[in-house]
Structure 1
Amino acid sequence: MSAVVETSSRPFALARTVALPRVGTSAAVSAMTMASLAPGLLPRTATMQAVVTGVFVALGLSVGRVVRGSDAVRLVGVVVGLLGVSWAFVAADRWQDGLRAAMGAPLLGPGYWVQVWAGAGVVVLALYGVVKLLGATARTLGPALLVAVTVAATAVGVPALVDWRTSSYGAANSFVDPDVHRPLSVAPAAWERLGAEGRKFLGGRPTRSSVRVYAGISSAPDLASRVALAIRELEQSGGLTRSNIVVAIPTGSGWIDANAVTGFERRFHDDVAIVGVQYSYAPSWATFLFGRRAAQDSASAVVQAVAERIASLPHPPNLYVYGQSLGAIGGSHAVRGVATCGTLWAGPPAGAVERGSATVLANSSDPVIRWSPRLLYAPPDLSGARPDAPAPQWLPVVSFLQTAVDLLAALDAPAGHGHRYAVDQGTAMPGC
């Protein structure tokens, strides 16, 4: 009888010897690890997955130290946690390979998960070190002095960070790509003021009879001047003699998707003029959060000016409006009360555009069409989205976090997946 008791109690003696983690820690770390591996919308690099898992695990470690539990409960917690994480690991591997197969991307190799776990460990250690440093600083300085130092550092650091990001956006807008060549019809000084995206738009043009017009944010001092410049360029370049005019509302950075432009030229057999006016050079996410009004004002001004100009012609060309992402928000706002032959929105942010008679292109794998605070507690509205890859089941909070992570790589997917759309942005434009 004593031998049986001794044998049966051995696991719990081991638990006391090894000093297993608290049951709350096991539960929290396991749950957060599983959440970090939950299905997403897009293929994820090992580095990105390592950061996500590392941050989630660190959060689990910080909140899971409340519940202690007996030795037996701790052991059970560790075993259950390991089983759950193992299942999540296998499921994540299959899910990622399923996404890659659907999108024509290479499947995961054997080193992928090694990089993930190693990278996650580095992230956890780094965050642990930061927390320990802050704790030591608080003990040294005292709570009151620590708060004062934090406030002062924030007051100095945040404006400096904003200035640095603004200058970096400006540098990106000023970048001159040596592979993009200036058309002979564009003067050197005007070429410099177009900005990086404007130069891509005009310089990427093949030899064809379509017309492209672009006013960069540095091309004129204010919105009214930029719109007037675009109208003059449209007149001088012969754009008003084309049968069709497309007002393309750029994204926040000033980008007009080359796939859409190619699609318009195919759709209208080159009998088209495409005009765009830049309103920002910040990334679309920044403009979406802090400068959405600029997109709407610019789009309204351009559409209204073009509509009024062509209305004065004996044989007005057909007017179309196109926008992708943030450009879709601006375009949706601009066409109110304006007669158009057709409108098309590609990848519009969730619930941000009025569909009406517009053609809407939305990939089911596009995180932009899904992400909103509502995703925390309710599944996304995917009416009108076209299935292009396996779709994850909605989970409260987890789906919101996973979709937020996918936003960072939304443009890295092949055309036709994620936030990357193909030439059907142009060819699908409805007619009059």
Structure 2
Amino acid sequence: MHTLRRFSARLEPAALFFAIVFFAFSMTPSLLPRAWYLQGVATGISVATGYGLGCLIVWIGHACGIRPAWSDVSKRYGWWALAGTAIVVIPLFLILGSWWQQIVRKLVEVEYEGGGRLLYVAVLLVALVVAVLLLFIARGLRWCARSLATLCTRFVPVPIAKGIGVAVVAVLTLFLLNGAVNNVLIAAIASSSELADKGSHPGVEQPSAPENSGSEESYEDWDSLGMEGRRFVSSGPTAEEIENFTGTAALTPIRAYVGAADADSIDEAADRVVAELERTGAFDRAVLAVATTTGRGWVNESVAGPLEYMYGGDTAIASMQYSFLPSPIAFLADRDSPREAGRALFERVYDAVQELPEESRPKLVTFGESLGAYGGQDAFGGARDMAARTDGALWVGNPNFTKQWSEITADRDAGSREILPVVDDGRYVRFAGRPDELEIGTPWSEPRLVYWQHASDPITWWSPNLVLHQPDWLREERGIDVDPGVRWFPFVTFWQTTFDMVFSTDVPQGYGHNYGEDSVDLWAEILQPEGWTESDTERLREIIAR
């Protein structure tokens, strides 16, 4: 009890007011519904941030000589006013937060969370624990800085000593955190992920068709493909399944894949993919697709499969694994490998295609999702280069740090929204969250390049700039799957979007970072297969959605 009194006595009233304001901000809606415990953590971080900001403002005021001499009566009234504000604001925004979350759930078709309002009492408890923990850490760092400054005053003036104390503690903290994350945590995850990569998903079996890597005829050993690679080469539609859909004779689609286990480098892996393409006769197929994977080598079957059905199996898809890290970890710790892999694989395949007689070349298309979209686009200098060297592209759920996506979005036509940019009147490049958004009333030339992004996808909209910068997508009209009440608040929106990413795929297809059967419509618009009809699109959507 004595420790609690000492702790509360040292709290800054003005900073507590900012903490309450940031508490209210943190309960406002964001892109996706959040689990109550994530809401608690986000709220706790926001409360601590608000308190820290309030302390900074008070410190600046004191440094400028602003030190009001409050009487004991004024202080008492101030504390009562602060307590009254907390008593009103905290319960009110807990209730509003629960209500807003249910609105967001309806927008993205997620079932109602039972006991939602009662769980928000737990949100408050988690938030308090997180905020107090962060405050203790901040005070510990401040004590270290002050102790070091006191020591330095023996040798240098006080202002310089204080600067040294703060700088040294800051540098050491960053050094320790970076070392702990990169040298210990990431290394441990990489090691365990490499071990897990030797396993297989339930029901995955070695393919018997020679058209697939990992088969008996393949240059690539089945066990070397990695967990996601084995699933990819064994999960595509068979010639029989395609024939049942088209009603005509079909070929077995080619899926060429190389895992990271046996390749000494990304360049070597890319060369081996081309060797697999040559072995299977992929360069004689009607369509050849280059797919850049996510962290551990995943390719979205809902994006790959429609191509194979549309062309009666007369297709080949080339892909490879470049990392053992799960996508969320690779998202944070390894942004070089996806770019190197995307560039190396496309360049090797492109060069091989260019060696063929022009009249014998397959349609060359490219696609990728998330880190795959980020890495795959690094093979191109921009949209014009993409249009010059491919026959179509589908980039899905691009991370906000994707260079080409960012540049194309920034150069959008005046008056178009950031969530649905219009570029050069939609001549080659088009953006869509839903298939019908591809139609913008202007001619669409070939090749066609599509950026598929949901307005509610936090992977696309998350950026460190959210800390202090309001993005255009929060200035303009919201997407149909985003609550119109979503607002930008400094610091708070960054943490909200950060925690939205955690369960960004745990929503139905068409929302968040879950991209599914809409790919059928998009590929049909991009490639316009001969004889393809709207009825074919609807039938294929049903197959892909299973």
> Which residue does the alignment assign to 1:352?
403
Equivalent of residue 103 in structure 2, options 92, 98, 106: 98
Which of the residues 218, 229, 234 maps onto 1:198? Answer: 229
* Residue 504 of structure 2 corresponds to residue 387 of structure 1: no
Q: Which residue of 2 aligns with 1:421?
A: 515
Q: Deviations over 1:278-328 (max 9, x none)?
A: 222324454455543432232222222222323315622111111212222
Kindly tell me the number of residue pairs found equivalent between the two proteins: 415
What amino acid sits opposite 1:87 in the alignment? L
Q: Is the aligned partner of 1:179 residue 2:203? A: yes
Q: Does 1:239 align with 2:282?
A: yes
Q: Identify if the C-alpha distance between structure 1 residues 385 and 393 changes in structure 2 by more than 3 Å, giving closer, same or farther.
A: closer
1:271 corresponds in structure 2 to 314
Structure-2 residue corresponding to 1:10:
none
- More displaced stretch, 42-51 vs 179-188: 179-188
Partner of 1:160: 184
In the superposition, relative to structure 1, how do residues 276 and 402 fare at CA in structure 2: closer, same or farther (>3 Å)? same
SS at match of 1:113: helix
Query: 1:340 maps to what in 2?
Result: 390
Question: Residue 343 of structure 2 contacts residue 378 of structure 2 at CA under 8 Å; is this kept in 1?
Answer: yes
How far residue 80 of structure 1 moved from its aligned partner, in angstroms, is 2.3
- Asked whether the equivalents of residues 362 and 386 of structure 1 are also in contact (C-alpha less than 8 Å), the reply is no
Q: Which amino acid aligns with 1:80?
A: T
Q: 1:157 to 1:286 in 2, by over 3 A?
A: closer
The whole-number CA distance in structure 2 between the counterparts of 1:359 and 1:52 is 34
Q: Which moved more, 1:211-220 or 1:368-377?
A: 368-377
In structure 2, distance between residues paired with 1:258 and 1:134: 49
% of aligned pairs identical? 29
**Structure 1 residues 381 and 334 mapped into 2: Cα distance closer, same or farther (>3 Å)?**
farther
Aligned match for 2:127, one of 116, 120, 129: 120
Q: Which residue of 1 aligns with 2:29?
A: 39
Q: 1:58-105 CA deviation, whole Å, 9 max, x = no partner?
A: 445566576986111221222223323333223322221111112221
Q: Tell me which of 281, 300, 307 is aligned to 2:350.
A: 307
- 1:276 & 1:401 partners in 2: Cα distance? 34
- Alpha carbons 1:346, 1:425 under 8 Å: kept: no
Structure 2 portions without partners, runs of 5+: 1-7, 59-67, 152-164, 240-251, 409-427, 430-448, 529-546
1:138-153 map, 5 Å:
none
- Cα deviation digits, residues 155-201 of structure 1 (max 9, x gap): 97452333213213323433333432221242587121111211121
- Is this contact kept in 2: 1:320–1:341, CA < 8 A? yes
Q: Deviations over 1:224-253 (max 9, x none)?
A: 321222122223334333211111111233
Structure 1 Cα separation of the partners of residues 376 and 129 of structure 2: 45
In the alignment, structure 1 segments of 5+ residues that lack a partner are 1-17
State whether residues 27 and 77 of structure 1, in contact with CA within 8 Å, keep that contact through their aligned partners in structure 2: yes
Partners of 2:237 and 2:305 within 8 A in 1: no
Cα distance change of structure 1 residues 368 and 179 upon mapping to structure 2, 3 Å threshold: same
Q: CA deviation at 1:128?
A: 6.1
Structure 1 SS opposite 2:270: helix
Instruction: Measure, in 1, the Cα distance between the counterparts of 2:10 and 2:140.
Output: 25
Task: Work out whether residues 248 and 323 of structure 1, in 8 Å CA contact, stay in contact via their aligned partners in 2.
Answer: yes
User: Cα gap change, 1:20/1:83 in structure 2, threshold over 3 Å: closer, same or farther?
Assistant: farther
* Residue 364 (structure 1) aligns with: 455
Q: For residue 514 of structure 2, what is the amino acid of its counterpart? A: R
Equivalent in the alignment of 2:20: 30
CA distance in 1, matches of 2:9, 2:380: 67
- Greater shift, 302-311 or 196-205, is seen at 302-311
State the shift of 1:222 in Å. 1.8
List aligned pairs for 1:286-301, cutoff 5 A: 286-301=329-344
Q: What is the deviation of 1:387?
A: 3.2
2:76 to 71, 78, 84: 71
Q: Which residue of 2 aligns with 1:378?
A: 470
Deviation at 1:370, TM superposition (A): 1.4
Q: Residues 273 and 426 (structure 1 numbering): CA distance in 2 closer, same or farther, change over 3 Å?
A: farther
Which of 231, 234, 259 is residue 302 of structure 2 equivalent to?
259
Q: CA RMSD in A?
A: 3.7
Q: Distance in 1 between matches of 2:150 and 2:28?
A: 39
Q: Contact between 1:32 and 1:57, CA under 8 Å: does it hold in 2?
A: yes
Q: Secondary structure at the match of 1:408?
A: helix
CA distance in 2, matches of 1:200, 1:155: 35
Residue of structure 2 in register with 1:400 after alignment: 494
Q: How do 1:206-225 residues align onto structure 2 when only pairs under 5 Å count?
A: 206-208=237-239, 209-225=252-268
User: Is the contact made by 2:49 and 2:491 (CA closer than 8 Å) also made in structure 1?
Assistant: no
Does residue 431 (structure 1) correspond to residue 421 (structure 2)? The answer is no
TM-score, scaled to structure 1: 0.82
Which stretch shows the higher mean deviation, 59-68 or 397-406?
59-68
Do the aligned partners of residues 414 and 302 (structure 1) sit closer, same or farther apart at CA in structure 2, a change above 3 Å counting?
Answer: same
**In 2, distance between residues paired with 1:130 and 1:263?**
52
Equivalent residue number for residue 81 of structure 1: 86
- Following superposition, the deviation at residue 431 of structure 1 comes to 2.0
Q: SS of the counterpart of 1:174? A: coil
d(CA) in 2 for partners of 1:155 and 1:236? 45
Instruction: Tell me, in whole angstroms, the C-alpha distance in 2 between the residues paired with 1:321 and 1:286.
Output: 25
CA distance in structure 2 between the aligned counterparts of 1:247 and 1:101, rounded to whole angstroms: 37
CA 202–25 in structure 1, closer or farther in 2 if over 3 Å, else same: same
